[in-house]
Amino acid sequence: MRTASIYCLALCLAIWLLFLLMRLSPFDPRSIPDIGLMMPLALAVALLAAIVATLLAGAALIRQPRARVNLLVFGSALAVLFGQMFLFLISSWL
């Protein structure tokens, strides 16, 4: 469960890095057909991955409460989830 949670966090990170690279590059993504559907879908996947990572890390923490790695992964997943929620709440473009 811990490994699956780490994979979900990596997926979330990859999606956000993709958005950051698209923002910082001179490439205009509006020229790609059907990008208007894919970008909100990618944001939804990133949010869902953070939620799933938090749930899986919480379950791993309940199963093995003495493993410090589980606590670290759970804290990281919570930080990512709250960070995304905060970003979505303060963004005016959503």
Q: What's the pTM value of the predicted model, to 2 decimals?
A: 0.86
pLDDT of residue 92: 73
Cβ atoms of residues 40 and 47 within 8 Å: no
Q: What residue ranges do the domains of the chain occupy?
A: 2-90
pLDDT of residue 28: 80
Per-residue pLDDT of the chain (94 residues; tens, 9 = 90+): 889 999 999 999 999 999 888 888 888 887 888 888 888 899 999 999 999 999 999 999 999 988 899 999 999 999 999 999 998 888 876 5
Residue 53's contacts (CB-CB under 8 Å, 6 or more residues apart) are 5, 6, 8, 9, 12, 77, 80, 81
